[in-house]
Chains A and B, each alone.
Chain A
Amino acid sequence: MASEGDRRAGPEVAARSSKVLGLGAGGPRGVAIAVASTVVFFALLVVAVTHAPGWPEVHRAFFSWAQFRTTLPEISRAFLLNVKIFCIAEALILVVALLLAVIRSLPGPVFFPLRALAIAYADFFRGVPTILVIVLLGFGAPGLGLKSVPTSTTFWGIVALVLVYTAYVSEVYRAGIESVHPSQEAAARSLGLTRWQATRYVVLPQAVRRVIPPLLNDFIGLQKDTALVSTLGAIEALNQAQIDVNASFNFTPYLAAALLFVAITIPLARFTDWLVLRDRRKRQAGGVR
């Protein structure tokens, strides 16, 4: 048994790490072909772009190293506001969306009004463009002039993002809940657990684990959408980049902002891929080989 396990560990680990990129499906020769075709593809792309008639101007306008260096520190500082917004928003979204998904999964005609509300909510906020929710709330709510209503743009930006992403994430949770076989709940109830206990200790743990990858997917979407809060006047990474672009008429600060977002989202995307792969292996391990 042990020797068999050891024997299998080697290739499996290699397969796992390479599968993340889909590289080397055909062994060493496959890797060589993949590398060669990648090099050729990018070489052609670089040649095509740098020989375009407008390249010198594009180079100056979008890839100015001097601009990049002088504006990156400022944009990085502004990016902290994006980080603050998506951290607070994500924490709220994960909780509120779960609550909404559980409400929508409540059985019985008694809970129909709650279910209907949850459905209407998800339909509405998934249908309205995020930027409109942000602008309407961010300028509309403080416009009421009520003393108790905050005027902070960060506050309303977070509220709008939570509203929109809760709608998406509650659907993800619901998919997870529905993927747990009804026999699981039946078994739990037959053991004497209440409906709430069955949901809390049997259904949700399985459901949530299954939907971790799509949850992270929505988290990445949320991170990018924090840039929309710029419409309210908050100086976050995009707005700072816009300010720098308008001061110099050079577009490189946009590139700096894009790189900051990518620097956070790419590791998270790879992490998500890895989780999917690990989950698949686990489930395969549990089944018939």
Chain B
Amino acid sequence: MPTTLELMLRALVVLVALVLAPAALAANCPTVSKGTLTVGTDNPAYPPWFGGNPPPGSPWKVSDPRSGEGYESAVAYAVASQLGFKSTQVVWKYVPFNKAFAPGPKPFDFDVNQISYTPARAKVVSFSNSYYDVNQAVVVLKGTKIASVRNVKGLRSFKLGAQLGTTSYLYIKDTIKPSHQPAVYPQNAAAIQALKNKQIDGLVVDLPTAFYITSAQVQNAKVLGQFPTTPGGEHFGMVFAKGNPLVGCVNRALARLKANGQLAGIRQQWLAKATGAPVLK
């Protein structure tokens, strides 16, 4: 049995570690503007990745990244805290997807916007390690012909759509190989409208987004299923300017968040609904 003194000492050690650890992490972690962590994302930022209601007059639409609600917002604040930033020191910046990898100095420390890691992209920007391992899924309208499909092969004869800049399009082209030319939409809103209009039979998106579409955006839609995980898998990473030393700091922060279970907790809080879709064989 440990004595009371021992317990108190242990608690003290843990406390000191907790206080010092972020400070230690923050050393050698330069940011674009000193004393703040500038995080980029697209606008509108959609649930379940971002949440909260933007206050009247806010430039943010649909969700408010500053709320700390939604998976990506919560992860960004958790990482910031690991790096020694208070939540008031986190500044959000609107970064259109194209701008995240345009040449020239980056106006953000990192961009968090459901961007999948690929080796080709990693030649141009630096990615953090995975903060979410993602699966693609297909959303269809209830009662349509495609709604009774149970396997990937069955999707081939349908017109499928994806959002520009997603790996969903690559999945359609390289794995499903449909007989119809797929459609690619510049915005989430356009893709949703095309699905509603039956201009496409199925919309391929990441699984959490699929559940958001069926719960909030399209009334009579359902998640037909998720695609089998590919070897090596697909993951989202935060995007940094190529060679930015901050990557190492963020990776250490992510490793801690994984080890102490915080990342799993955030996932449970914001993405719990986004599981349980049947796997299409």
Residues of A at under 8 Å CB distance from B?
54, 57-58, 60-62, 135, 139, 142-143, 145, 151-153, 230-235, 239, 242-243, 245-251
Q: Which residues of A contact B103 (CB under 8 A)?
A: 54, 57-58, 60-62, 251
B124 touches A250 (CB 8 A): yes
A246 partner, pick from B97, B104, B183, beta carbons under 8 A: B97
The residues of B that contact A143 with a CB separation of less than 8 Å are: 193, 196-197
For A142, give its contact among B118, B169, B190, B197 (CB under 8 Å): B197
Which chain A residues border B181 with CB–CB below 8 Å?
235
**Chain B CB within 10 Å, residue with most, of A57, A151, A239, A243:** A243
- Chain A residues, Cβ within 8 Å of B169: 243
Once the chains are docked, how many angstroms separate the CA of A139 from the CA of B125?
A: 35
Report if B199 contacts A (CB, 8 A).
Answer: yes
Given A235-B183, A246-B164, check contact A151 B197 (CB 8 Å): yes
Closest to A149 in B: B197
Instruction: Give every chain A residue within 8 A of B118 (Cβ-Cβ).
Output: 247
- B191 / chain A contacts, CB cutoff of 8 Å: 233
Which of A58, A145, A152, A233 contacts B161, CB < 8 Å? A233
Q: Using Cβ atoms and an 8 Å threshold, which residues of chain B touch A60?
A: 103
CA gap between A62 and B101 in the complex, in Å: 12
Taking A139-B194, A142-B197, A234-B183 as known contacts, 13 extra A-B pairs with beta carbons closer than 8 A to each other, sorted by chain A number, are: A61-B102, A142-B199, A143-B193, A232-B190, A232-B194, A233-B184, A233-B200, A235-B182, A235-B184, A243-B169, A248-B123, A248-B124, A249-B125
Note all chain B residues with C-beta closer than 8 A to A242.
Answer: 164-165, 184, 186
In contact, A233 and B190 (Cβ under 8 angstroms): yes
Nearest Cβ distance between residue A132 and chain B, in whole angstroms?
A: 13
- The reply on B185 being an interface residue by CB < 8 A is yes
B170 at the interface (CB under 8 A from A): yes
Inside 8 A of A232's CB, which chain B residues have their CB? 183, 190, 194
What is the CA–CA distance of A58 and B183 in the complex, to the nearest angstrom? 30
Which residue of B121, B183, B198 is within 8 Å of A233 (Cβ)? B183
Q: Cβ of B1 < 8 Å from any Cβ of A?
A: no
Given contacts A231-B186, A235-B182, A61 and B120 within 8 Å (CB-CB)? no
Tell me the bound Cα distance from A233 to B197 in angstroms: 13
Contacts of B182 in A (CB 8 A): 235
User: Could you list 19 A-B pairs, sorted by A, with CB under 8 Å?
Assistant: A58-B103, A61-B103, A139-B190, A143-B193, A153-B183, A233-B185, A235-B181, A239-B184, A242-B184, A242-B186, A243-B169, A243-B184, A246-B165, A247-B121, A247-B170, A249-B124, A250-B124, A251-B102, A251-B103
Nearest chain B CB to A111 CB, angstrom units: 39
Per the bound structure, the CA–CA distance linking A208 and B164 in Å amounts to 43
User: Are B120 and A249 interface neighbours, CB within 8 A?
Assistant: yes
Question: Closest residue of chain B to A151, judged by CB?
Answer: B199
In angstroms, Cα B121 to Cα A61, docked, is 12
Task: State in angstroms the CA–CA spacing of A242 and B184 once bound together.
Answer: 10
Pair B199/A153 contact, Cβ less than 8 Å: yes
Q: Min CB distance, B145 to chain A, in Å? A: 14
Q: How far is the CA of A101 from the CA of B80 in the complex (A)?
A: 65
Q: Which residues of A contact B186 (CB under 8 A)?
A: 230-231, 242
